[in-house]
Amino acid sequence: MTGAAVAGPTQAEPPAAPGPEAGPLAALGIRRRSFLTWTARITALLALPATLRPQVAQAVEAAVASGERPTLVWLEFQDCTGDTESFLRARNPSVSQVILDLVSVDYQETIMAGAGEAAEASKAAAIARGGHIIVVEGSVPLGAGGGYCVIGGRSAEQILTEAVKGAAAVINVGTCSAYGGLPAAAPNPTQAVAVPDVVQGVPMVNLPGCPANVDNITATLVHYLTFGQLPPTDEQGRPLFAYGERIHDNCPKRGHFDAGQFALAFGDEGHRKGWCLYKLGCKGPSTWHNCSTQKWNGGTSWPIQAGAPCVGCSEPGFWDTMTPMYARLPDVTGVGQDLSAEKIGLGLVGATAVGATVHGVVKVARTRRQLAAEAPAVPPPPPPLPPTERDATDDQTPAGAR
Amino acid sequence: MTDMHPSVRRPAANREVVVGTECVTPVKVWQPWIRLLHWTLVGTVVVLSLTGFYIADPVVLGGDGGGLMATVRFVHVLAGWMLITVLVGRLYLAFAGNPWARWPQLLPVWRERRAQLWHTVRYYAFLEKHPAEVVGHNPMAGLAYVGLFGMLAVQAVTGIALVAVTDRDGWEWAATGWVFQLLAVPEVRLLHHLVMWFTWTFVVFHVYAATLVDRVERGGEISSMVGGWKMMPTGRIEEELSRDAARRRRRRR
């Protein structure tokens, strides 16, 4: 579907607006053809109808022409800068420039020229103006009074709480800011929490992933520029355009799954043939993300295509709920040692069987002894269960119950 | 005996036999529906476990695979719906069945049943020579079945939830999506797998208890689940039926 939507409009429609090399985009050195290709791609990625492509193009052009660019403040807390790295690897270099020109990135620790007091002043000014977009990368540690992540003498929690005042939207890029991610994994020594656990009441969207895919970041920004609001989300706060479908349901190896063809070990015959990675612990069946259609690094490849099982990095509770990475079922933890479901199940069934056998042997032996002992007292033929005995036992029952 | 449940057959006086000094009569304890549900449940649990094992840890047959996973998953989901049908049917009979299918047989709400429960516990601890004299389920078995139905309900909910992940627009997700607010998908799979093992633990004990009461205590338990008849002391049957009739009369007033 994505391919058709991309190919259709760009080839069939001639450029709608002025001459091919006029307008504000030409001034930035962007060819109209590549711009329209890009807008078609973004429109398809956002799962919008192709008829909305001109609206997307106009919104982006208008934003560039007006010069009124929304301010973007990119905050990094407990992170690895992976999402920043991902953001800087936009698919189309010239169009990534568009995006960087669409929004005024007033604070981004990794790429900004300013440092120290100047950088802090730039951020303070952007926040004071209001209407800015906050992008958060990394989780927020609450432990030790916030002492695990301090920038410019203030804790991550303080910085975040101040920054969202007057903000138009908060975009959580990466699993750490969206759900806590790796820093929040057990035993979570810094008491790391997700951004939604610290701030509420601001339009917010989660773009989880380790890292978040730049295509989804730019598409979210374009959606905001085009419609003035964040894209619709699922129960986990993730945009449906990017996280609406399960990886498994759009996986190129899905045919091998349904067929029953599985790689059993890395490098075995099935693995070399590109069979399903299910038995190697693939979490594609547990993960909602558009990796299988959008791919990574400009559509070059993505983990499952490269033969690595999905680890479910964009799900809430990653890492704890998605490990072990190379086994299908998690172990049962917290019982002294990690036990597999099979060990527990076979243990329970085996123990019950042994217990029942022992009980049965004892019962049969006692019944035989009882019958033998009673045999002389009762005239032949001896009844198997003498009624006098039975009645006497029953009569005592209510007393026993009390 | 005027208000007896229509499905109960009166103990036929001419079929009464004397064992020792005791009069025993064949009585139709298990309605056809109960027996049908029982053996359907046995079949579905076996099919669900075998297909479930494959889904959890598939064997690779080689060749083109033959669409095995797709087929097995289809059978598993189909058998899952069969299981849910059995559960709904049993729930219906718990309110509309004969006196030995109804819910007081499962939950010891009556003082007499609680006394029999204690008696049964003592019986299994070798402190009583014979089990409590009941026509239908003994109260401990009733509680065990409540536990079994609870486990199967967990399987039903987690099973529907694991089907729901294929389509978050479907009614299955609307009904069971809340499960994933509590547990991640792999954790739900683990729970589904563990409860399957708990079910088999129940099966082992259930088969043992039935064999014990059938072979050692001569209660006719095993054949009763095929034909529905049990040999019971005549007085005991009359007692339970008159109590049930009294309850029906009270309820009607």
Please report the beta strands in A131-168, taking only residues with DSSP state E, as ranges in sequence order.
Answer: 133-137, 140-141, 150-151, 154-155
- For residues A210-216, average pLDDT: 90
Q: How far apart are CA A276 and CA B65, in angstroms?
A: 12
Each residue's pLDDT tens digit, A304-332: 999 999 999 999 989 899 988 998 888 88
CATH 1.10.10.10 is held by the domain A245-330 = no
Q: How far apart are CA A35 and CA A269, in angstroms?
A: 44
Domain spanning B33-245: which superfamily?
Transmembrane di-heme cytochromes, Chain C (1.20.950.20)
Q: How far apart are CA A85 and CA A98, in angstroms?
A: 18
Provide the H-helix boundaries in B101-233: 111-124, 139-164, 171-176, 179-182, 185-211, 221-227
Residue A246 has a pLDDT of: 93
List, as own/partner pairs, every contact residues A194-199 make where C-beta atoms lie below 8 angstroms and the sequence separation is at least 24, other chains included.
A194/A139, A194/A140, A195/A136, A195/A139, A195/A140, A195/A160, A195/A170, A196/A172, A196/A237, A197/A140, A198/A140, A198/A157, A198/A160, A198/A161, A199/A160, A199/A161, A199/A164, A199/A170
Each residue's pLDDT tens digit, B198-252: 999 999 999 999 988 888 877 777 888 888 888 777 777 888 888 778 877 777 7
C-alpha angle with apex B215: B214 to B219, nearest 5 degrees?
Answer: 35
Provide the H-helix boundaries in A130-238: 156-163, 175-179, 214-227
* Whether pLDDT at A102 is above 80: no
Which pLDDT band, with edges at 50, 70 and 90, does A397 fall under?
very low
- Between A25-39, A248-262, A301-315, the lowest mean confidence (pLDDT) is in A25-39
CB-count exposure of residue A238 (10 Å: 0-12, 13-18, 19+): buried
| Measured CA distances, A338 to A184, A325, A330, A334 (Å) | 21, 15, 9, 7
Q: What is the DSSP letter of A381?
A: S
**Cβ pair A397:B115 closer than 8 A:** yes
**Cβ pair A386:B20 closer than 8 A:** yes
Task: List Cβ neighbours of A279 (8 Å cut-off, separation of 6 or more).
Answer: A262, A263, A264, A328, B57, B58
- Residues pairing with A151 in the sheet: A154
Domain spanning A69-241: which superfamily?
NADH:ubiquinone oxidoreductase-like, 20kDa subunit (3.40.50.700)
Each residue's pLDDT tens digit, A280-299: 999 999 999 999 998 988 78
Residue A259 with chain B: CB contacts under 8 Å: 64-70
Q: Higher pLDDT residue, B53 or A58?
A: B53
Residue A41 has a pLDDT of: 84
Amino acid at B145: Y
* Whether pLDDT at A268 is above 80: yes
Residue B20 has a pLDDT of: 61
The domain spans of chain B are: 33-245
**Cβ pair B197:A315 closer than 8 A:** no
Q: Higher pLDDT residue, A181 or A111?
A: A181
Residue A377 with chain B: CB contacts under 8 Å: none
Which pLDDT band, with edges at 50, 70 and 90, does A385 fall under?
low
Q: How far apart are CA A384 and CA A364, in angstroms?
A: 13
Each residue's pLDDT tens digit, B131-184: 888 888 888 999 999 999 999 999 999 999 999 998 888 999 999 999 998 999
ipTM associated with this complex = 0.84
Residue A382 has a pLDDT of: 53
Of the residues B190, B199, B202, B231, the best mutation for testing chain A's interface (the one with the most A CB atoms within 10 Å of its CB) is: B190
Tokens of residue B71, six digits: 């087929």
Residue from the list B56, B67, B124 with its beta carbon closest to the beta carbon of A260: B67
Concatenated DSSP letters of A278-290: GGGT--GGG-B-S
Q: Are strands A192-193 and A204-207 parallel, antiparallel or unpaired?
A: unpaired
Tokens of residue A85, six digits: 């790295």
Amino acid at A237: G
- Residues pairing with A171 in the sheet: A135, A205
* Whether pLDDT at A348 is above 70: yes
CB-count exposure of residue B18 (10 Å: 0-12, 13-18, 19+): exposed
**Cβ pair B69:A260 closer than 8 A:** yes
**Cβ pair B186:A330 closer than 8 A:** yes
- For residues B76-95, average pLDDT: 95
**Cβ pair A384:B218 closer than 8 A:** yes
Please, are residues A74 and A83 in contact by the beta-carbon 8 Å criterion? no
Average pLDDT of chain A is 83
Closest chain B residue to the Cα of A319, Cα to Cα? B184
Residue A68 has a pLDDT of: 74
- Residues pairing with A150 in the sheet: A155
Closest Cα in chain B, distance from residue A174 (Å): 18
Identity of the highest mean pLDDT range in A104-108, A267-271, A360-364, B120-124:
A267-271
Q: How far apart are CA A61 and CA A36, in angstroms?
A: 11
Tokens of residue A269, six digits: 């015959």
**Cβ pair B186:A283 closer than 8 A:** yes
Residue A137 has a pLDDT of: 95
Of the residues A329, A331, A344, A378, the best mutation for testing chain B's interface (the one with the most B CB atoms within 10 Å of its CB) is: A329
Residue A112 has a pLDDT of: 83
Residue from the list B66, B194, B205 with its beta carbon closest to the beta carbon of A356: B205
- For residues B45-65, average pLDDT: 91
Residue B6 has a pLDDT of: 56
Each residue's pLDDT tens digit, B65-85: 889 999 999 999 999 999 999
Q: How many CB pairs under 8 A join A and B?
A: 156
Please, are residues A225 and A255 in contact by the beta-carbon 8 Å criterion? no
Q: Higher pLDDT residue, A19 or B72?
A: B72
Residue B11 has a pLDDT of: 53
Specify the 3-state DSSP secondary structure of A154. strand
Each residue's pLDDT tens digit, A162-201: 999 989 999 999 999 999 999 999 899 999 999 999 999 9
Residue from the list A287, A388, A397 with its beta carbon closest to the beta carbon of B132: A397
Residue A384 has a pLDDT of: 60
* Whether pLDDT at A33 is above 50: yes
Residue B54 has a pLDDT of: 94
Closest chain A residue to the Cα of B192, Cα to Cα? A341
**Cβ pair B57:A348 closer than 8 A:** no
**Cβ pair A352:B211 closer than 8 A:** no
First to last CA, chain B: 17
